[in-house]
Structure 1
């Protein structure tokens, strides 16, 4: 590689890294506990009481009525079913269109209807970590900004790989020159961990950037696919009396017997329509359990009126979300993800240190390093 090409790639690597490093450090640090978010959440859940065999379950509509009674003046836009335990989380708010952060969440045992005393998912340490990781408490602009930082990370990785080959031509793989100065040792460690975490950092950077598009993707789907699914009832007045939510769920499960309901959106909420329940189902394999399949049920009769697969852009989002946190292979994969996350923190931190240390080095020393780098490049060429 010519000296000019090395200078160009060095410039790209340096500035793409510097611009995104602090934000990537923030994302790696906040992402570490989020890798185990599911396990932490379940550990905080209270023990479910024993239920005598033959005890009749209260039914979802009875539980919804209890949730409404506990929050007078509020409406229920959503109910979420747990993927492991017989639990349902009922969301209520001041309006059907209230954003998730303004909703109040109540947890119930589906077998007995018992209300569980659980901390709000929009409070506490894990919520702060999630918001910092997702949008830095800045909403959509924060999400899109972090998406750009993720793309800059990918640019830094590609340019780093291009520079790694000529740099290591005269050194064995994994060489750390301990006899040289502190900065040289950190440079070798930075290069070593960078190449080891190459694939993982690329995957996390790309999937993270995709995840920042979640809100625009949701809005695109609502404005196109959901509107088309509800078009048959567009000119009808909203029903004055709703069919039981349980009948809509049963109809969806009959239509898709190999799937199970994950979410129910009630009529008038953003993920339903004024005339329909929105029933969202998932499969039982590691992949299909991440892919939502929507169905609309007539709010007056409970019968399914429309059902279709999600478009490719939505499926891409659904697949990238769990991949970003290593949530496909259970706890062992999450531990691997956490170790790679820690290694990435070292890579990012060492890169920042190397830049600061170089800035603080005497001018003569920097000129000497530049001359050595130029000579090495010419010899390699």
Structure 2
């Protein structure tokens, strides 16, 4: 392929569904910092201290005091200790988030399922369009690969451009937009590669899930056997503090961040946390407990995962930068913004190149119109659906109070 062919391929990949690619970049950037955006908007999302310790007994006492007759679905503390701990409750037939300070157990506020982080994650993950939306979003990774590879051929001697001073931006000068497009694109190459690789994995994962191909570690044998047993009647589920203590004794090095109660007595309590692993999400390390006694049914350690499960649990930390505190999240947010600019400037340069020769409709083409339609539909669908969160008819957890 000659230089012109590579340029045409690069332009096609950037414009084929350019608006959709741009919106996915923007929504992903905002989703990366979604909890921090909530932190800035309301005090209930802010922990009172940045202490790494979690007082589960104090948390449980607060829930018992303020929410009698409710039941705990799960409780989670984020990797970032400045964020409030979230307890998800079943209050009657409705769902409610309760925000608490992890170290003291103090009640900070409450809210519904609908919030900034939920909107952004639903929108970014699948445009709130279920299976089809996820296929569309993950397929954009193919365009990213094309854009990444073709850029090396479009921009000759690209390695010399990292320190090249760009021209001052002028709204109608395509050359100035080109300078900034190249410069920011070069500095974002590593980030675009990370997004392309992780997005490609999400596409593969979507295919494996659709084909129902097992690709994650199975629960321990004792858990499977426990599920087959008929639960003894009259046994009460253990308390939150008891579940924490049992899991900590079974897995002493585990930094417990999440405890989920089952719906039925023949299902285990699941405890998750971090274990000083590199680039692994919360669910990689687990302890399974018998819900009526706290007996350990099994332990899953991230360090023992095989290749596919390891990839599955590494993709999210890499994609969202949520693996080393606020520093990496801000870096991911910055380069996500740069990637969004690169996408938008490429679209705008294309329009500047042809605006005197054609109409907007012809320039967009069918794919452009469809992409804009999808973006509008996704915003409307997300706005209408992100508030929805049903609760199970029954939960096998202690009745609070």
TM-score of the pair, normalised by structure 1: 0.72
Superimposed CA distance per residue, residues 218-274 of structure 1 (whole angstroms, 9 cap, x where no aligned partner): 9977986137452222431024323414333222211211112221221337xxx82
Give the Å deviation of 1:337.
3.1
1:28-47, aligned counterparts within 5 Å? 28-43=25-40, 44-46=42-44
Match of 1:129 among 120, 127, 132: 120
Q: In the alignment, is the contact (CA less than 8 A) between 1:81 and 1:87 conserved in 2?
A: yes
Structure 1 distance, partners of 2:151, 2:244, is 52
Per-residue CA deviations over 1:109-155 (Å, capped at 9, x if unaligned) read 466654331333x3244433332222222234322311111231122
Q: Which residue of structure 1 lines up, in the alignment, with residue 68 of structure 2?
A: 69
Structure 2 CA distance for partners of 1:172 and 1:117, relative to 1, 3 Å: closer
Aligned pairs, number: 341
2:234 is equivalent to residue 207 of structure 1: no
Q: What is the CA-CA distance between 1:352 and the residue it aligns to? A: 0.7
Query: Partner of 1:351: helix, strand, or coil?
Result: helix
Distance 2:276 2:356 in 1: 58
Which residue of 2 is the match for residue 342 of structure 1? 337
Q: Residue 367 of structure 2 corresponds to which residue in structure 1?
A: none
The alpha carbon displacement at 1:182 in A equals: 1.8
| Alignment of 1:16 onto 2:13 | yes
CA–CA separation in structure 2 for the residues paired with 1:336 and 1:103: 34
Residues 1:107 and 2:96 are matched in the alignment: no
Ranked by relative contact order (alpha carbons within 8 Å, sequence separation 6 or more), the top structure is: 2
The C-alpha deviation readout for 1:290-311, integer Å capped at 9, x for no partner, is: 5631221122321102112354
CA separation of 1:61/1:236 partners in 2, compared to 1, >3 Å: closer, same or farther? farther
Counterpart in the other structure of 1:90: 87
Segments of structure 2 that go 5 or more residues without pairing to the other structure are 50-54, 359-401
The separation in 2 between residues aligned to 1:155 and 1:237, in whole angstroms, is: 55
Q: Distance in 2 between matches of 1:162 and 1:92?
A: 55
Query: What is the CA–CA distance in structure 1 between the aligned matches of 2:106 and 2:43, rounded to whole Å?
Result: 13
In the alignment, which of 219, 222, 236 is matched to residue 242 of structure 1? 236
| Contact 2:220 2:297 (8 Å CA) reproduced | no
3-state DSSP of counterpart to 1:165: coil
Residue number in structure 2 paired with 1:374: none
Residue of structure 1 in register with 2:135 after alignment: 144
Which sections of structure 1, spanning at least 5 residues, go unmatched?
51-55, 364-381
Where does residue 293 of structure 1 map in the other structure? Answer: 285
TM-score calculated relative to the size of structure 2:
0.69
Q: Counterpart of 1:192?
A: 183
In structure 2, the residue matched to 1:80 is 76
User: Residue 300 of structure 1: SS of its match in structure 2?
Assistant: coil
Question: Alpha-carbon deviations, 1:200-219, whole Å to 9, x = none?
Answer: 11212322444577787799
Which residue is 1:278 aligned to?
Answer: 270
* Deviation of the 1:172 alpha carbon: 10
Deviations 1:279-331 (A, max 9, x none): 21222466467563122112232110211235443432332323223334444
Task: Give the 5 Å matches for 1:348-363.
Answer: 348-362=343-357
Q: Which residue of 2 aligns with 1:174?
A: 164
Contact 1:258–1:283 under 8 Å retained in 2 = yes
CA contact (8 A) 1:239 1:275 kept: no
C-alpha RMSD of matched pairs (Å): 4.1
Report which of the two structures shows the higher radius of gyration computed on alpha carbons: 1
Check the 8 A contact 1:239/1:300 in 2, yes or no: no
Structure 2 counterpart SS, 1:69: coil
